[in-house]
Amino acid sequence: MKFFLDTAIISEVEEMLGTGLVDGVTTNPSLIAKSGNDMSDTIAAICSLVDGPVSAEVTATNWQGMVTEGEHLRKIADNVCVKVPLTLEGLRATHHLTQAGHPVNVTLCFSANQALLAAKAGATFISPFIGRLDDIGVDGMDLIADIRAIYDNYPELETEILAASIRSVGHMRESALIGADVATLPAKVMKDMALHPLTSSGLEAFLSDWEKTGQSIL
């Protein structure tokens, strides 16, 4: 499973890259707005740090505008992945962009039917939103499972499932069990995945016992 960091904060990217766990980055207009920085400068800076795909989202709502914006975003860096919404206009833009050789992340997916359409349009990634479904009382993990089953039925569909709107370590565990190809997650959730109370207490006991020996490794 690939891990994408969901952020537009450059310092977070720099910090988490040092762990060796980050395979790419996803951004969106909301994350860019929260960062308070220029979009193009932010994407360029992240792309200079990260070898893998960096999703940058269009803001046009018609397919011609999405294609124009997508082509502009792709000029920022070779590893930019154009992010488009899952609408009919977005699907048409996906088809045109992928036909031209541009990677596309289709976002705001909330149904298996939408995911099937995105794959047919040639999407590189499909981003089903787990947390937002949970917010309205629908189990977001059921959507990941449905998409996995459909895509596995048709090996010719090469679209990768990018589990998005991840809010917890539980979301990560279930996404991995179901077989999502990628997960995009906040830095906090990635850090929380490393935590367990037994690890903390065990380490404390080991260090206490070691201190009693009076020894030093170096």
Distance CA 84, CA 71 (A): 12
Q: Which of 2, 83, 188, 191 is catalytic?
A: 83
Which residue is associated with the tokens 């996404």?
Answer: 175
Which residue is associated with the tokens 């790419």?
Answer: 24
Burial class (CB in 10 A: 0-12, 13-18, 19+), 194: exposed
HSE, CB side, 13 Å, CA atoms: give it for residue 139.
8
Q: DSSP characters for 85-144?
A: ESSHHHHHHHHHHHHTT--EEEEEE-SHHHHHHHHHHT-SEEEEBHHHHHHTT--HHHHH
Active site residue 83: yes
Q: Which residues are catalytic?
A: 83
